[in-house]
Structure formats: C-alpha cells, structure tokens
A and B are shown apart, each in its own frame.
Chain A
C-alpha cells in the first residue's frame, strides 16, 4: 500500500508535493518517473533502495529501468548527503578564475574527493556546471548561500567557520541535555 509509506514522517510543506501522495495519485500517465524520483529525493534526501522498489511497484516500470534512469541523471544520488552540501562551481567563468584551486583546497580541507561526504556527515562536496553568478567567480554554494570571489585562504576560513558554528551548536545542545538531566 504505497500511500502509507512515509506516514507520520512526511515533512514536505504541501501535501500535493509529498512522495507518498504522488505515488498514491499516480494514474498511469506517461512521463511521471522523473517527477516521482524527484519527490523521493526531496523526501529522503537521496534515492534509497526501497524508493526504487515502491516506484517500480506502483508504475510497473522494472526496477532495473528505474535504476538506469537514476544513474543517468546527475541530480539523483544513491547515498545520503551531508548536512552542508557544497556546490563548487566549475563553469567556464569560474574555471578561468582558478576554480580548480578552490576545489582542491576544499578536498584538502575536508579530506574528501568530489562526490564524497565527510565522515562526520557534515559536508558533501559536489561540483556544478554553472550557478550563473559568473561575475562573482570563483563561486561556491553551501546549501543556499552563495560565496563569491574566493581564494584558497578564504574558502578554508569559510569551511572552518561552518565547522566552528556547528561545533558550538552541538556543544550547546549537549550542555542543554546535561542541564535537563540534572
């Protein structure tokens, strides 16, 4: 019963956009596979194995074919992402402004390669073809915030500030937890 898949955990703002609603509403209209996958990714943050099964079960499209579509498009990912998703722009304008150096610095600072997620689950590093803020090159997007005109030293400082803030927030959480227990 696909409608109940994520009952109680759906956090999508509009019911019409939620994964379970979309699966439930599926009426056999052609061309729905990609929108279904997109809502699954919105819901889970990635495409888990079970989402492929659900979609295949409802649409009748073989799992192998669904998997083929998932791996064809760069938007879909089969692994969970970090809390902060870094999209380092590798477009032409950024490239001529040495974006490669910025990407290498991020890789070095975080200890992951492009496409990877840090062990603490904090950062995922991806590259994108163009964010469209070419006049601010080189540009990096961290979640929804855009940071432009970067240098290796600046990006290092930026990543460390994210780490520090996160550490501080976690520290507060745990000390608040202690206070509660006391």
Chain B
C-alpha cells in the first residue's frame, strides 16, 4: 500500500500543512484503505512547504508546495492512477538512494546523521523510531560497554559540542564522570535563542527520541540518575512531541527504574523556559531550572564539579545528544570519517535570509560557505549580489562574500571573527546595510543582557546609542574608534558568553565594512539604500492608484498629486519618517 507522509514541522504547519493533511484525511475517510497517512518532522526544504511524500516500495516521491487542491490531484493521478506529477516533484529518491527532481541540488552535498530520521519517521511514534534502528545504541551502552568505554568512544569520534563553543564532548563527559557524588544530572540545552536559528527545534520536532537516547547514554556514562531538558516556551510543538516521547519511552522501559533490566535508573523532566536569551548560557540555565532569575554564575567551579543544585552536571546541546546514538552504533571511526581533522562529523545549518532555498541542511564539517550558499542554498534571491553571511547570531559576526571559500569548522570560522554558533546562517545581499545589521544585533543583546556585569549592561547600551545615531546620519568622526574600544572592554569585563560575544557583530562589521560606516558618518549616505534617514523616497507610478492616503498621512506635506493620478514625493521637504510606506495600501512607495 502507498504511504502518504505530510511534513508537519512548525515550518510546514505555518505554510498550511494542516489544511493539506486534513484534505488528505477527508479523502481517506471517503475511500478507506486507499493509502496510509502519517505526519513527520521537518524534511529540510522549508522553502517548498507544505511537503507531501508518497512512498511506495523503496521509492520516495516528495511533492512541494502542496495545497489541498494539489493534494487531491496527487490522490487522483498518483495514488490511484500511478502517474507521477513530474512538475510538482521536489525530490525523488529511488530505491538505490539516487536523488532526482528539482531540489536534488539542495541535497547533493548533505550527509544526514543528526537529521537521519527527520522527515522520514513519525516523531510521535516510538515504534517507527525503533524500526529505524532506534534504541539499539542504548542496549550496547547498557550491556556491552562500560561507562569508561562509552566515554572513550565519544572521545575517539572527535565530537565537539554543537551549541557553539565546540568543546570536546567526550572530555566534558569524563570530567563529570570523574567527580564523585551521590547525585549527578544530565541537562539538555534546548533553549535555542539565536534569532534565525531553528536546527534544534527541527530535531526536537522531527526526532525527539534520538535526543532522549543520547541523554540516556550520557547518563549511563557519567553515572547520573536524572535529567532535564530545558526547552524554549516558544516551541510548543517541540515540547508536545518531547512529552509524548518521554511517556512512550517510559512505557517501553527505556526510561525509569531498572532500564531494560540492567539495574540502571534514569528519568527525564522537561523544563519550559520563560523567554530569556541569557538562559542559553549554562550556568544561567541552571539558575532558571532552579526557579530563579536566569543570571550566570562565576566559573569555576565548572558544571562538571558543581552545576545544577551544586551537583556534578553534564550539559550539552540538542544536536550533540542527537549525534550520540549514531556514534555508538556505527563506531567512532565511522563518525570521524566525516569532517576535517580537528572538527569531525557533520553540522546542521539553518539557511535563511536572502537565499533562494531557505531550510535545514546537514553537511560534513569543512564544507565551504560558497557551497552552502550557492549549491545547497541555490544562490541569492531575485538575482541580487551575495554580500555576506551572518553566522552565530547575536554572538557571531558577518563573513563577507570575499571569504566565501572559508570552510565551516571550529578553526576557520573563528579566524574570520565570527563564531560557529549553533548553526544559524543568514544570507545577506547587497541591499542589506551592515551598520544597521550591527545595530540590530546589539539592540537584541542589549535588551537581553541580564544586568549583572556593568560593562555588558551599560557598555552595550552606549554602543547601541552610537550605532543608532550613525544610522540616523548623526554619526561623529571618532565613533568607529569609540565602538572598537568599548567593544573590546565589554568582551574582557563580562562574566558570561553573552557579554563576551555581544560586541562581535559590531567588531566584525567594522573589520570588513569600515567603508560603509565611514559613508554613514562622513558622507551621510547609506550605500545599501536601507537606512531610512539617509535615503530618498519614491512612488512607483505603476503601482500608485492616486488614492491620496500617503499625502494625507505625510506630516510635512511633501507629497503632491491629484486624486486618481500618480503622486510624487518632494525629497527636499521629506523628513524620512516612513509614514508613506507604511500607510500605502498598494506597496507603491519605496526607498533608494
């Protein structure tokens, strides 16, 4: 029987997957037994959502942009008639694994370890996870390996923490294992706070059991009996699926007392975050689990010694845990085969911004930025020019297009001044103003600073004030130097990662785009044509209907035109308030 699988991640649902799913269910209730239907997590090709897969034998046909109407057509032609709708096929995977279809390029360089089950299994079914080889690694960890051997295996694999800092995972585990204590904790950091990053969400929504299994193995290795998953409250679907996964795993005896008869106990709780970016920092995260304000603590003592409730704790990110079962099952060497010498394995990236194919891609470490943007990402939207990629979110930086042959790994990316971060990669085109970009990230970190360290609390505010005035055309000649000095001071005098990295977006943009800063400050000009105060406003005569709304809203009467005739803006009077753009009902006003 043909199986029909609908992508039901947040990306799919927001593109209308629910309506498509409902229509297919209606068809099925009218024709019982015609096909089997289920949902799955993110398939990766977010730009083609809603995605519907028809699976038959070993062959997989994935359709893109499936509206309820197209779903009906797929039913009539493909499911009933056996005729494939070639025009709508995003990806076809033949039984031998060969990929074709319009989006085959998106998958060409990908190797899926973390995302091995995302988009192929039903995340709400533990049976499907088991059928895909899940919960095998845990048997190995419990019955065939000693805790020491598990840690050695992870060390040998070369896995480094995927939360951003890239600390060797095996080494981290060995510290927590070495500390004697009656109680130890395993914590999973699922507080994915970087705007523009959605890798962890997709893994939790698409394959929650893999994360659980990774945590159980870690608990066995370090000798912990309880664990916490700290998940953002903004990810309700991830929380729902994790809850189901934990309940199912408990029923099957993978979690709880005496797991699989081995005498080993482990239980997991979900803690919902309450919206604070700083809680992605591990000591702040512990404070938040303990019910306090999420403010970071001084290290040392490190979490391996005194973490959650002052007990030895191991904290890793979602993606790190999702790697663990695969490594145990396939061996450290198989994992180390991927990637570069010092950065082994694969990394998941969330491609977004001005790229044609926005979505989720898992590539071996060492893949270049160029390959990610052009071969997987399909290049820049609207045929514009590639300007830079922003990596590492508010803690990272912009890497200019001239450095696009930089391989993504834990050595090369920091050398550019950016950081690997958790894997958000936002592509920028020639219309993006870098000064405004720096201002945007600083506004974010300034807002999220917990207020503990003076330099972070006040220094970022001063930097933000300077950047804001530059974008308004009120920059002063020594502003760039002030920003650099302040930035370096904040980096040095802050306690946690938030403050230590907050100036990065500003410092890297000054490093690579100093001329843009200078154009704003000295020439009062925004080269990208983005900063409202420094550009001119125009009305597109093709779109203008002469409705007079803009003229009525203009506070300085800079817009002239008769009713039902094209209006014109007098830029010598205009005060650049932008009211005409936001009030136009026809999107006819633009700035340049």
- A interface residues (Cβ-Cβ under 8 A, vs B): 30-35, 37-38, 68-69, 72-76, 90-93, 95-97, 101, 104-105, 108, 128-137, 139, 146, 148, 151-154, 156-157
Chain B residues whose C-beta falls within 8 Å of the C-beta of A135 in the assembled complex: 11, 46-47, 49, 352, 358-359
Total chain B interface residues with beta-carbon distance under 8 A: 59
What is the chain B residue whose CB lies nearest that of A133? B14
- B interface residues (Cβ-Cβ under 8 A, vs A): 10-11, 13-15, 46-47, 49, 193-198, 201, 233-235, 271-277, 288-294, 309, 350, 352-354, 358-359, 390, 393, 424, 426, 428, 432, 437, 440-441, 444, 450, 578-579, 581-587
Chain B residues whose C-beta falls within 8 Å of the C-beta of A35 in the assembled complex: 271-272
Q: Which residue of B15, B290, B390 contacts A133 across the interface (Cβ within 8 Å)?
A: B15
Q: List 21 A-B contacts (CB under 8 A).
A: A30-B309, A31-B290, A31-B291, A33-B291, A38-B233, A69-B291, A69-B292, A92-B390, A93-B353, A96-B354, A101-B578, A101-B581, A105-B583, A134-B350, A134-B352, A134-B353, A134-B358, A135-B46, A136-B15, A137-B352, A148-B14
B274 engages A132 (CB within 8 Å) = no
Q: Which residue of A92, A95, A152 contacts B424 across the interface (Cβ within 8 Å)?
A: A92
B444 engages A129 (CB within 8 Å) = yes
A152 engages B293 (CB within 8 Å) = no
What is the chain A residue whose CB lies nearest that of B205? A132
A96–B353 alpha-carbon span in the complex (Å): 7
A to B contact number (C-beta, < 8 Å): 144
Q: A32-B291, A38-B274, A133-B11 are in contact. Are A152 and B587 (CB under 8 A)?
A: yes
A105–B288 alpha-carbon span in the complex (Å): 36
What is the chain A residue whose CB lies nearest that of B350? A134
What is the chain A residue whose CB lies nearest that of B236? A144
How many whole Å from B577's CB to the nearest CB in chain A? 10
Chain B residues whose C-beta falls within 8 Å of the C-beta of A101 in the assembled complex: 578, 581-582
Chain A residues whose C-beta falls within 8 Å of the C-beta of B47 in the assembled complex: 135
B293 engages A68 (CB within 8 Å) = yes
What is the chain A residue whose CB lies nearest that of B308? A31
How many whole Å from B508's CB to the nearest CB in chain A? 14
Chain B residues whose C-beta falls within 8 Å of the C-beta of A134 in the assembled complex: 46, 196, 198, 350, 352-353, 358, 426
A19–B515 alpha-carbon span in the complex (Å): 56
Chain B residues whose C-beta falls within 8 Å of the C-beta of A32 in the assembled complex: 291
What is the chain B residue whose CB lies nearest that of A74? B275
Chain B residues whose C-beta falls within 8 Å of the C-beta of A92 in the assembled complex: 195-196, 352-353, 390, 393, 424, 426, 440-441
Chain A residues whose C-beta falls within 8 Å of the C-beta of B277 in the assembled complex: 129
Q: Top 3 A-B pairs ranked by shortest CB distance?
A: A135-B358, A92-B196, A134-B352
